[in-house]
Structure 1
């Protein structure tokens, strides 16, 4: 399929209005695949945030009273439109973030899945009778939406984050003001337009790429009742400081340093394919729950290194719009420099270089391309083992037994995901119990299905997205009592 490589006109979506200018100035959008300036992104400032919150507050009085069955109908219609615009979302992901078109369908697929899943909950939100006659009082609970939710998302997989946050918030009767990253505004912009097209009332979904001041204004606005954030720990701490002063609840989905634990009874060929693609192939390693540490049992350690390196060495890197490309660019020059700096420090610290990470040259030299890096025999306390790289870098370490595998896996401050590869289900369950993570995948199960709670521990944040717990994040209970 041939894709148009020209970006749409960027805009802010406030209610029914589409603004091509904002008081926060403009962001010069650089195409990560070729280093060329391709768009001017209008940025919201505090003024537009106040307008969007006002629109969301007005819409809340309408949306909260919309019957659950009607909200379900509109959310399902919204999911239909996301699916129908799959090709456009794929195109936008390649333009704004360098996501190859060969894997770009994952965003709209998950966006649709999460929206449709929470559509199914919209008419099933009920309270509970907690005391009844012959007691002296009848006591029951009323589940109620918070009101306006402030949503701040980062640049990797924006449509996935929108599905994970917006869909449950809307299903519960809330309205939202979304601040997407200025690097990836186009998917969020189309998302908001499709919500209107589906018949969701104006002001229920507002989208504002914005400045730091805009984020602070959104978090601090008295009518924003809760904040949910996807990003890194550094920004999360700043958000928490501001929310703490306001006693405002938050959900934080942060980074990860997930371990992929491989025992000697695992299928080496299968694990090599999975480990290669899910660590350095998918999104060029720019994913929070990707298994970026490969822990391998002694007896198959060298065999696994050789197998993974062979797979990684054959993953095509190139233009995101080429049908053969698997690995695209990283998001920008700053990310490129940061990743290469970590790679160089790992190289000089004594880790064994299996595949060297360097910047791509030739036809790719003008883009933000980092060739995949694989390091073996890595010290568990080293920077490359402890810190999230968010780039195409895989660390391989050896272990002797279950106890050492668990200790290595739990040796970082993160606790988002864990992966176990073994045919011994008793062992798999023992390790699943021992891992300090919010999610455990055994033998290749898929990431972030909408029906399952997702969220981390420690530096990976807190709160849940997915399943009934993800809906409950956007509901607060009121207790009502009356004489029996």
Structure 2
């Protein structure tokens, strides 16, 4: 199977109010197949002028959308969820074309995105405040009135073209906000289809605006005075620049950033094969290691260390690498050749510095994939926990394995970076699970299983993994402000 030809792809455009712009002042981005670098389409890039127009469209629609009957907003989001499901196969294919994720992963992301919209649709008619009176005393009668931010700016990275979009947009739409989304120009196709389905679902023009663009467009969106909050999914370096710009207007933000998550495997853990299967899939099969919450550090008790490493390597070595559109593919390419070079150099540098030993991978797979941006599933052991490879996000199919003897040592290793997105525990000792979970510095702790990013639980990190939450009522409150009304 070969990557899709350009004439099989929809033409990307900027979605601004009722307009569809196929050219823009920011020029074009040549979108290439992550699989074989074939040029597929030209993506129009917004400049400051298009950002201005998109924000104006969102601001113009804000009052109407805010005062829509809650059940009407609810119905529109439920219709959008249904349409997403109806286009499941198309979305799965577009996700594979967008960033090279295997088709099966893309299809799973469609299901999660639909669930996210159904969940937040259910909140539309349940947004309430509080009565704040004290009976039996003289004084004021007070209540709080929740109000949406008028315009929310959403900036997304490329690794979850549909899931990140849905997770970032469903809650503000349910809250009554209008939205300007800047998806990555490297993943334009999923966002285009999502916007079309939003219109079919009855979401009015101007409520959802989608504008691809580069750093200048992102800066214009963040600094625009009518954008009242920023929601960003990406890396800490870009987040710092956004936060500086937000500070100029005291603009609040939600930051969903990277991770260096650890999985702690205790000697009373479940069977090794299950642990190894989960570890290999998370580090390699999920998104070629290009995901933020996956456990990229495996911290294993010394009694199990060698057996776990052996089994992980056996499983990963059996993964089929290839065309992401081929259903047999278990692991696709990384996003582009530059990422491939960065990942392999990171591994080489650790080996040269004596900070780790490669027991699997660390190279391009060669053969038919020699000229494509692939990295073999890579496992390093005897890793120096202070080395750069253990401290920064590799964002590629690289799993680091550490050995520990005592519980305190395992916790120290897990907490030994500036990240704090997720942590994982493999143990059947209930007392240990609760004790260790309390001490782990992470926004989410997952026990005896894989990452569970579902709409009814809060998701988000701490440290340089960001702040704020997506999911649950907490994620809705991110896009509401509470006004106090006092009757004296």
Give the TM-score taking structure 2 as reference length.
0.97
Distance 1:356 1:113 in 2: 36
1:356, CA displacement in angstroms? 2.6
1:132, CA displacement in angstroms? 4.7
1:349, CA displacement in angstroms? 2.2
Which residue does the alignment assign to 1:306?
Answer: 310
Distance 2:168 2:323 in 1: 31
Which residue does the alignment assign to 1:359?
Answer: 364
- Asked if residue 107 in structure 1 is aligned to residue 112 in structure 2, the reply is no
CA distances 1:357-405 after superposition (whole Å, capped 9, x unpaired): 1123222233211111100010110111111000000000011121111
Which residue does the alignment assign to 2:482?
Answer: 477
Q: Secondary structure at the residue paired with 2:20?
A: strand
- Asked if residue 76 in structure 1 is aligned to residue 81 in structure 2, the reply is no
Which residue does the alignment assign to 1:125?
Answer: 127
Which residue does the alignment assign to 1:422?
Answer: 427
Which residue does the alignment assign to 2:30?
Answer: 28
Distance 2:216 2:256 in 1: 22
1:95, CA displacement in angstroms? 1.0
1:51, CA displacement in angstroms? 0.8
- Asked if residue 453 in structure 1 is aligned to residue 455 in structure 2, the reply is no
Q: Secondary structure at the residue paired with 1:283?
A: coil
1:336, CA displacement in angstroms? 1.0
Q: Secondary structure at the residue paired with 2:310?
A: helix
Gaps of at least 5 residues in structure 1 are none
1:133, CA displacement in angstroms? 4.4
Contact preservation (8 Å) 1:103, 1:326: no
CA distances 1:160-204 after superposition (whole Å, capped 9, x unpaired): 111111100010000000000110011111111111110011111
1:61, CA displacement in angstroms? 1.2
- 1:270 aligned residue (268, 274, 280): 274
Kindly report the root-mean-square deviation, in angstroms, between the aligned alpha carbons of the 2 structures: 1.3
Within-5 A mapping of 1:327-476? 327-350=331-354, 351-476=356-481
- Asked if residue 229 in structure 1 is aligned to residue 223 in structure 2, the reply is no
Q: Secondary structure at the residue paired with 1:252?
A: strand
Within-5 A mapping of 1:147-162? 147-162=150-165
Distance 2:288 2:62 in 1: 39
Distance 2:126 2:180 in 1: 25
- 1:49 aligned residue (47, 51, 57): 51
CA distances 1:64-91 after superposition (whole Å, capped 9, x unpaired): 0001111111100010011111111111
CA distances 1:433-473 after superposition (whole Å, capped 9, x unpaired): 01000000000054211100111011100011111110000
Which residue does the alignment assign to 1:318?
Answer: 322
Contact preservation (8 Å) 1:132, 1:139: no
Contact preservation (8 Å) 1:35, 1:366: no
- 2:256 aligned residue (253, 256, 265): 253
Within-5 A mapping of 1:150-299? 150-266=153-269, 267-299=271-303
CA distances 1:82-103 after superposition (whole Å, capped 9, x unpaired): 1111111111111110111122
Going from structure 1 to structure 2, the CA distance change for 1:101 and 1:445 (only over 3 Å counts) comes to: closer
Contact preservation (8 Å) 1:33, 1:364: no
Q: Secondary structure at the residue paired with 2:119?
A: helix
Moved over 4 A (4+): 1-5
CA distances 1:106-134 after superposition (whole Å, capped 9, x unpaired): 22111111111100101000010011544
Contact preservation (8 Å) 2:181, 2:211: yes
Distance 2:429 2:307 in 1: 20
Distance 1:269 1:346 in 2: 28
Contact preservation (8 Å) 2:259, 2:292: yes
